Amino acid sequence: MKIVVLDRTSVGEDVSAEGIERLGEAVLYGSTPDALAAERIADADIVVANKNPMNESTLRNAGRVRLICQLSTGYDNVDLDYCRRRGIRVCNVRGYSTAAVAQHTVALALSVLENLPYYDRYVKSGAYGAQPRFSCFEKTWYELEGKTWGIAGMGNIGKRVAQAAQALGCRVIFYATSGRSDCREYEQVDFDGLLGQSDILSLHCPLSDRTYHLMNREAFARMKPEAILVNVARGAVVDTTALYEALQSGQIRGAGIDVFEKEPIAPDNPLAKLEDTGKLQLTPHMAWASLEARRRCMEETCRNIEAFLCGEERNIVV
């Protein structure tokens, strides 16, 4: 049984891959350019992939492939129809990063709300030590207590964020980006209600035709001027240019962004040029990537392979 891992570094070198190596003849590549994917999986029985396209072009000559294991929850890179026709099973990893993404969501919101990077630099630069008073009020910061925290996408991550926000004294509302939700613990509103009422608005929805550029010029125009946006979902849920304009013009107070329309971030992305940390703080698509979450991702992938080898269905997409 030959197992080819195309993107071993996608979970980090500090996470062991011994579990996969025990399951068969394992060939692990740190990363794989798309142009080399077909060649590397040509004689594989099982492919472990992350971002490389798994479609007719890459799988046409890989006649032995029986299973594609996504080293992630998302499977946008997999042509499910083609795999179904070929009888190739596809599985993913679910729920491994819920705690990490929820934690990072709150961290971004708090950091923007309090402008922590500014104050960190203020102390380390010597400016604090050179002033006569014991504190500093250069940049105004605000409490979460009593604010309305809006959530777009009330899945597992959205619910975990809602719990944290409520514990910090927020009123929680949410918008079901899929058009329906069975969540009854929190107040459900329409999109206009979400935009108009939210002091903090965090995005936790998948990218789809419904959510592509959900946050556009019209959406930002309907938000409170003191609102903060946090995007830990997918980059294209937010129109980058519209967000930049909303921040520059003061349509919204600030944003914390972990995901981008092109990743790694494109050199011409205007957000990278906005240096005011009170308005914008950026992180490199790391919300999911705590050490614990990355370990769970690898462990769950191993369990998916074990289940398949035993004839059991586990986390099967098709």
- Please give the positions annotated as active site: 234, 263, 285
CA–CA gap between residue 247 and residue 278 (Å, rounded) = 10
- The values of phi and psi at residue 64, to 5°, are -90, -10
Cβ-Cβ contacts under 8 Å for 11 (sequence gap 6 or more): 71, 294, 297, 298
The residue among 221, 248, 249, 219 whose CA lies nearest residue 231 is 219
DSSP labels, 62-116: -TT--EEEESSS--TTB-HHHHHHHT-EEE---STTHHHHHHHHHHHHHHHHHTH
CA–CA gap between residue 194 and residue 291 (Å, rounded) = 33
Q: Residues for the chain: how many in total?
A: 318
- The torsion region of residue 85 among left (phi > 0), alpha (psi -120 to 50) and beta comes to alpha
Find out whether 45 and 60 touch, Cβ atoms under 8 Å: no
| Cis amide leading into 264 (omega within 30) | yes
- The values of phi and psi at residue 230, to 5°, are -125, 125
CA–CA gap between residue 302 and residue 23 (Å, rounded) = 8
DSSP code at position 133: S
Strands 280-282 and 187-188: unpaired
Find out whether 253 and 276 touch, Cβ atoms under 8 Å: no
